[in-house]
Amino acid sequence: MSRRVVVTGVGLVLPQGIGIDPVWARICEGVSGVGPLTRFDTTDFETKIAAEVKGFRSEDYIELKEMKKMDIFIHYALAAAEIALADSGLAVSNNNAERIGVIVGTGLGGLSSIEKYHTVLLERGPQRVTPFFIPMLIANEASGHIAMRFGAKGPNLCVVTACATGAHSIGDAFRCIQYGDADAIIAGGVEATITPLAVAGFNSMKALSTRNAEPERASRPFERDRDGFVMGEGAAVTILEELEHARARGAKIYAELVGYGYTSDAYHLAAPDPKGDGAARCMQMALRDAKLSPDAVDYINAHGTSTELNDMVETIAIKRVFGGHAAKLAVSSTKSMTGHLLGAAGSTEAVFSCLAIRDRIIPPTINYENPDPQCDLDYVPNTAREQAVKIVISNSFGFGGTNATLAFKKYEG
C-alpha cells in the first residue's frame, strides 16, 4: 500500500506580495497583480503590461556575495523555499537530511542572464562573461541551491514542462514519497522571464494580451473579450510529507494530496487538442489515482489562461469528465489576478487549492463581465465564494501538449 502524502508548508513570492496570508488575502479580495511593465523599455513592443513581483529584496534571503552568482529566478525559489520551510516547521538535520529532497522546476530558467550576457559578449568580448554564467541559467540550479542552502540530501530533480512544470514537480514529489524514496520533499515551481526576448517571442505567437490601457483588466479567463494571457513571475513552493512523518512531529496539515494525473495531447507544439482529449484523460487519471468519483469534486482551480482556445478546450474537457456534475462545480482561474506564471503557475495554483480547503473559500475569476457561450460553467465571477471545500483538483496544461492534474482532499485524520 502506498504511503499517504500531506502538505505541511507553503511559500509564495508573487505579484500580490511575499508570504502566505497577505498574498492569499489579496487573491480572495480579487486584487490584480498586473500593471505597466517596468523591466525594460516597451516602446517597440505590442504588449506593455505584466504581473511583476514588486518589493522583493533578494538581500533578505541571500548573502550579497552569493546573489551575484545567481539569476533572479533562483532568488525567488530560495525565498519561497525558506518561507515554506518556516511555515511547516520542518528542520533539516544530519539525522534526516538523506530523507528530504527537492523537486523545484522552471519553464525557461535563467533567460534574463542569457540576454544580459549575450549583450556582454557582443559588446565587451568573451573574457567579460562571468564564470557563473552557466550555473545562472541552467534550470536545475534552483533545486540545487535550495538543497545546498538547507542541507537536503535526498532526491534532487528539476522538472521542465512549460506551464505544467509546477504541478508536475509536486506530482513527482508525491510519487517519490509514496514509493518510500523520501519522507519529505520541498516541491514547486519558479519563473522570472519578463524579459524583452520572452515578451517579443510570445507577441510573435499572438499569445499575449495587448489591453495595455487597462492592465488590471487584461487577464480575463473564460470571458468573451479575452485577448491573450498576461505574463507573470514568481515562485510557489510546498512542503510535502509522508503522513506519519508529519504527525510524529506535530505538523499542521493544509490538505492531503491524493491524486496525480499526467498525460500528453500528442497533437501540436503549442495549441491544445481541440477535443480536450489529453486534458480530460489527465483529470480522469488524477481522480482514478485518488479513488474519487467525479461528483465528489467541489472545486476546480482551472488552468484558465485567458487565451481563446485554451479556455474553451478546458471547458470542453471538464464537461467530458464531469458530465452533469460540471454545471454544479465551482471553476475559477486565479491567473485572472496573478497573470500566467508559466513554470510557477501549477505550484501557485496548488497552494491556492490547499488554502481554499483550509479557509472554506473559493477564489474568484476577476474581470468576468461578458459570458462566452462556449465557456458556460460556473467560473465564480469577480467575487470570492464562502463554501465548504473538501475536494479540489488543479489543472495545468503546457506547450508541447503536456498536462498535469493534482487532486487535494481535506485532511480529516
Q: In the annotation, is 163 catalytic?
A: yes
Candidates 163, 176, 282, 375; catalytic one = 163
Q: Is 303 a catalytic residue?
A: yes
Single out the catalytic residue among 75, 168, 245, 340.
340
Contact status, residue 349 vs residue 408, Cβ threshold 8 Å = no
Look up 75 and say whether it is catalytic: no
C-alpha pair distances (Å), 20 with each of 80, 86, 174, 268, 404: 10, 11, 22, 37, 24
Q: Which residues are catalytic?
A: 163, 303, 340
